Amino acid sequence: MTVYVRSLETAVPKTMLVQSEARDVFAAQPGLTRLGSRLVNTCFDSAAIDTRFTAVEELTNDFRSDDPQFYDPSSGLLLNPSTKVRNEIFAREATKLFVAAARAALDAASEFDLVDITHLVTVSCTGFFNPGPDYKIVRELGLDPAVQRYHLGFMGCYAAFPALRAAKLFCEADPNAVVLVVCAELCSLHVRTSNDPDTIMGSALFADGAAAAVVTARPDAAEKALLRLDHFETVLTPVGEDSMAWNIGDNGFEMVLGNYVPHIIDDHIVGALQPLLAQEPELAALPYTSIQHWGIHPGGRSILDKVQSRLGLTDPQLVPAREVLRNYGNMSSATVLFVLKHILEQDVQPQDGAGGGRICSMAFGPGLTVETALFTKLRQAPADTAAVSGGRAAEIRQPLAAEAPVA
């Protein structure tokens, strides 16, 4: 049975962070050592990020509050709220993003009524509340109260793929199923000043965003479908369990992102791809560059550099991932869906050979887990903007068609 992504839409908070301005704030904190200050400047400047979006309005100098919780612009100090305070903001602001992305995806699949949605899968690793985002989406959008609801929590940056895989299985089990998948992450809630290299790296990379897709196997969706969901695979690398982690601390969630992670991916990415490409032997026999599109989760610039070098991919094949990183940063589970949307917005090219029109996609997360997927691009998506939880559209820079890898 063929399962399709009928629509794929994205959403971001209304507050934009300019990377250079954020760097200057973090570098000016009084508790930094000389090494810590140097690390802040290096991490922010080498991240290949220009802008990011945050649900924490007070992280910009334009916001004023009588009771600042994250940042006091009058003193220039970054504050350190408790996990409880951060999670309360997550419950409020993540709901807006979940709903904005879900509404945009449903609007883009206008042939379906709200009552047609049979399953709802929500994803997040940056906060918890219950009744959760699945409940909020049902109530806010007026879905059938009997819709089957599932939440994938605390899996990390790769979680969009288990969500899409579950949607595919639901549709294969029930040909009438219409599944709404929504990922939303508020990574910026957990930023803090620190001399710890992992914490500094997280502050330089992570951001907030959401993405949603409507997935179905109904024949009436085939003509307008964007993607065909072909295959998914999961691989755990034999090393790296302690190199990437996401823990809960007293003052927010704490990231472990060791500087050896890009090297682990470099060593094991070819082996991680083998089970996926073996699903279609004609692809396994081709050079990687013969697969037209590559939807790589931009966990960081160095990860993209390692993947491109190891697989011998061309600069244009890395443009979607590098552009998403440049414009949005790393939004954990939602990010790879932003990359796929970027690919879908490109003109449909002639599908020459077995790799024409195919998308090989991958994401990385704690474990070290490598999730891979094969898709087939069916048509061009109509838009190049992301919805904003406040109701307007975020401007996105036009892709640099032949941009060279960032040094």
Give me the amino acid identity at 328: Y
Tokens of 171: 């549709």
Tokens of 258: 């060791």
Strand 358-365, strand 51-54: pairing: unpaired
* Residues 6 or more apart whose Cβ sits within 8 Å of residue 10: 101, 104, 209, 210, 211, 212, 334, 337, 338, 341, 386, 387
Largest pairwise CA distance in the chain: 63
**Residue 37 near residue 235 (C-beta atoms within 8 A):** no
Neighbours of 98 (CB within 10 A): 27
**Candidate list 43, 157, 183, 360, residue with the active-site label:** 157
Specify whether 157 is catalytic: yes
- Give catalytic residue positions: 157
